[in-house]
Amino acid sequence: TLTTGAALKTQTGSIGSKVAYCTSTSGSINFDVTFAQAAEYYVWGRFYFEGAKPDANCFQFSVDGGYKRKFGNNQDYYNQWHWGGYGNVESGTLTRLSIGRFGAGQHKITISGYEVGQTVMVDMVLITADSSYVPNDKEFKPAAALPLGNNYLLVAEQGTLTTGAALKTQTGSIGSKVAYCTSTSGSINFNVNFAQAAEYYVWGRFYFEGTKPDANSFQFSVDGGYKRKFGNNQDYYNQWHWGGYGNVESGTLTRLSIGRFGAGQHKITISGYEVGQTVMVDMVLITTDSAYVPTDATISLLKNSGSAELSLPDDFELKQNYPNPFNPSTRVKYSVPMNAHVTIKVFDMLGKEVAMLVNENKNAGYYELNFDAGSLNGGLASGIYIYQMRAEGIESSGNVFTESKKMVLVK
């Protein structure tokens, strides 16, 4: 949560979609964090300082409104992304910031301005009880609310839990712990920054222990608004499954439609409806793609030092369509490793364009589309067609990727 005097902007090389900076010493970036244990805690930040010695390069870090410690500040690391912390060392080895001992439970984390301006940027912050841990870009990616294509993945264990909500381990979960509610006032909460104004849809990965009609439902709301049943399909007890729309109690699993929301930050709340340890949620996926269906194979979480990481593609890639040959529909998967403008077109063997499947900016992630040849005006004749993906990196202008493959329509 940003106060007056703090703002966001894009910066090449950031891992998050935007970085934060302070325009005044009263500006701050604030987080509510639940510490799992009483321990000594240490902090790392991922910083970018534009300029040269002795230009501005320092934030302040405090917990629960307490003592403000210099955060960042190492003058040997201008004009490059780096993980730093202890602000009293102005040159030399980068090291973590020790913030002292804190009890288990919720704490307010504040990163505030010290030497201010758009040239002093923070991308993300890591808080750990391991004094020897040193983060690096290769292993660390934001796990909660990370954009995955046009989607946002929320890992249950990384939400902010109120009284009446708790975590536990469950065999088969992708995250290290699952969440459940012991009362209808209990909830798991996330702050999500939607990149665009759009219609949004939600999937949850659930496990319900029991048999019909045992408890099996949560509620889902945005910004404290209308609570929709979330989960609830009674054909899926005692198995992990992706579901959503809670008004369908049996039959086909489908996404929950939550309506249209503007770009910017929104509060996501998953609360108790039918409560108890037998009603579990592992993770939640929010998407602007009404046709998108998550699977365990496509939502891949890597575990490292107790933290969950989302696997994103390393390269642009266009997959072979499946099924192939097809009639009349087939699916095409493709990967986008960076924000890019993507087009996917279909051509006949004479080079004439017969269909435009994609023509829009895409965030980094994995995608899948459905091509229905029968839906085109007049349909397509049986034969061989070429489909081509072209992607131009928004983050690296002039970097163009193209790949083509054949598909066969047999009527």
pLDDT tens, residue by residue, 205-255: 999 999 999 999 999 999 999 999 999 999 999 999 999 999 988 888 899
Who wins on pLDDT, 157 or 302?
157
212 and 294 part of one domain: yes
290 and 381 part of one domain: no
Who wins on pLDDT, 86 or 153?
86
124 and 153 part of one domain: no
Note the pLDDT of residue 172. Answer: 87
- Cβ contact 41:130 at 8 Å: no
The CATH number covering residue 210 comes to 2.60.120.260
Instruction: Using pLDDT thresholds of 50, 70 and 90, give the confidence band for residue 149.
Output: low
Residues of the chain above pLDDT 70, percent: 90
Instruction: Using pLDDT thresholds of 50, 70 and 90, give the confidence band for residue 303.
Output: very low
Average pLDDT of the chain to the nearest whole number: 87
Give the distance, in angstroms, between the CA of residue 144 and the centroid of all CA atoms in the same chain: 5
Mean pLDDT value across residues 329-358: 90
167 and 282 part of one domain: yes
From 63, 94, 128, the end of a domain falls on 128
Distance CA 329, CA 327 (A): 5
Domain that holds residue 360: 317-409
Structural domains of the chain, count: 3
Could you tell me if residue 138 is inside a domain? no
215 and 285 part of one domain: yes
- Cβ contact 255:290 at 8 Å: yes
Q: Which pTM does this prediction carry?
A: 0.45
Note the pLDDT of residue 302. Answer: 32
283 and 172 part of one domain: yes
123 and 167 part of one domain: no
Distance CA 183, CA 295 (A): 29
Burial of residue 393 (CB within 10 Å: 0-12, 13-18, 19+) is middle
For 361, the 3-state DSSP assignment is: strand
160 and 303 part of one domain: yes
From 263, 288, 310, the end of a domain falls on 310
Note the pLDDT of residue 203. Answer: 94
pLDDT at 352 exceeding the cut of 70: yes
